[in-house]
Amino acid sequence: MGLFSLPKDGAEIHVTGDVLVTCAHIDPALIDDVWIGQLVESHVFQHRTAAATLLWDQAVVNPGAVPLDYIAKLAKPSTEDWYVYSPAIAALKELTLTRLGALKIVLRYRRQPGGNRPNRCGQCAFGDRGR
């Protein structure tokens, strides 16, 4: 069985993501960006959840290394599960403090009507709640 393949019975679906997230807590350099990319592209939402969590952790520790295209793909409530888009939006908000590209993503979300507007992340990121 490969690193990102599904187990036969489905009982171990969280193992891959949990192991990678734990390794990243020990040392973020242990996690290859290619692995995160594979998790982002996975059709299994638990893998995408792990990817969003890894990206959030990376946004706090090393914001310059976070691939913004991964964050933009995962921070979409209209297409992603809550467990995926919540840590992705948290990572995006963290990145707006240091990366202009992240700020542009948030501002793009603010201009979108309805569907892809991630939980009012534009308002929350800048403190204008409810306006």
29-65 pLDDT, tens per residue? 899 999 999 999 999 889 999 999 999 999 999 999 9
Structure token digits, residue 30? 């242990």
Give the CA angle between residues 110, 36, 43 to the nearest 5°: 80
Put simply, whether the predicted model's pTM sits higher than 0.85 gets the answer no
For 109, phi and psi rounded to 5 degrees?
A: -65, -35
DSSP H/E element including 45:
helix 45-61
Residue found under tokens 């992603």? 80
Angle between helices 45-61 and 15-26 (to 10 degrees): 10
